[in-house]
Chain A
Amino acid sequence: MQTSSQIQIDQTQLGALENGCGMVFWNRATIVRHSGPDALDLLHRLTTKELLSVTEGRSRRTVLTSARGRVVDVFLVAHVSDDRLLLISDSDNSERMISAIDRYTIIEDAELTDLSDSNVRISLIGPRAVQVVESVLGEVVGNDATITAEFNGESSTIVSDTSRGVEWFDAICPVDVARDLAAAFESAGAVAVEPDNFELFRITRLIPGSDREYGEHANPIESGLFDLIDFDKGCYVGQEVIARLDTYDKVKRNLKVLESDGPLEAGNALELPAESKSAGMITSASPLKTEDGMFLSLGLVRKAFLEAGTVLDSGGIAVRVR
């Protein structure tokens, strides 16, 4: 059995994500086709971002919230062609997105098709990702653009996502060509990144993850998704609650990077040392020890304890707010 001390950071993989092109092959991600003349307008009315200006060939990430203002899913809306959108989410639970949208599809001419089993998502991350895509598919994908390209006789969709604070492209392709496409990306300079190393990168860069930092347990503001909310777009599901949280400064927690001398466990509570007072919760925890000898985690930390250097406790391990 592999213990945390045996798992090593791969500097080549982290270096590729930071300075080159790292490639993440998703075991399963939500990939849904949303087609019909009312599809975009419906999503605009349901989610946090203004979407009517996402014309053909463009993309934008948005948040679907519940009427209580909690996060149901966060997904990229890629406008592939006239009446056809591709919805891409980090969640492995495609049924959740589909049922949430389907619930509000009443008179709209729009249809949802789950492509999560028949297609694969490969993410290319880092400043050289755009060159890797161009080298393999012969197309330059601009910021927040969506293109369709041929590879091995099959159509693949490449989508740029600028919402995460790093250069990020998602390639969506049929299962049959996924291994060959990934191999072609590697030949062009992409470095395959293992899950633990990607997780550490995500934590370091404060990139919120599905069912960790965001989900039914949190609202999008505290989950680090503030930039995915358009406060002047008008109504969407949960808008009144989210607007009130922001207007009256009612958000009680913020997403923070945490440091500790030992590995932490996601889901565990954060407390004030020697007191049982809750200070938040650990949402993601890396099992990898950094060069500095620390373990890094993400946590939803109550506002009173956000100052850098604040020392908290989780299961007997001292935790410092970064």
Chain B
Amino acid sequence: MSTQQSGAPGGTQEPLPRAGQVPGLGALRQTGNLFALAASVLWLSFKRPFQVRELIEQFWFIASVTILPSMLVSIPFGAVITLQVGSLTQQLGAESFTGAASVLAVVQQASPLIVALLIAGAGGSAICADIGSRTIREEMEAMEVMGVSPIQRLIVPRVMAASLVAVLLNGLVSVVGVLGGYFFFVYLQHGTPGAFLASFSSLAQLPDLYISEIKALIFGFIAGVVAAHRGLNPRPGPKGVGEAVNQSVVISFLLLFFVNLILTAIYLKIVPPKG
């Protein structure tokens, strides 16, 4: 311990040497932070103590805000695809394949995306607002100071809940979407129920369902991580939280469609089409 009197207060201050501001560096840094957060969420998912209670609460919350809207969205979506594909196939004279085409489109593309959009829009925005307001109230720092990792305590259960709800919801949306398509095909376009089902079983295969569920899992994870990342890094003040929620929805939508493109391309390359 020493008593010290440093130089006069008017002493010159030299700014510390810093890396020059390169345009785009900020975006790159944010991307890096996002990936780092995703990695630590994955890593901490397997570390004890696991927050079972928080997981169940979040699971229930996300499921309750997404089930009804996603079903309501999936019925018209399945119908639209069936109608569009049906009118096309009629022109081509391949009516019997309407069933296969619409079911594959619903299961592989529409259903995971509907689920992901609703999880990001309804669940993710709520997660982001919750985490963001806690961050600006210094709750996260307080938790860290108490030796509790906010990522493990709060973020992991939320991301996990989002992924699990996405997987389960995807099953529901697929069924509802296919039923909606079937209904419109049979009753509005006067197609034959047998043709719908037969073409479906002749062209669709089990890996189509697998990729659908894998997509849903990944989309749910992305929506959860993006929401958490924006929530953990808001600009200060209540306005910052609002902006963070906005950004979280936009960023997750962009990422979802991009990742969907990549996953679809990979799937079509590695899984040979049936028939």
Same complex origin of A and B: no
Q: What residues of chain A have their CB less than 8 Å away from a CB belonging to chain B?
A: none
Q: What residues of chain B have their CB less than 8 Å away from a CB belonging to chain A?
A: none
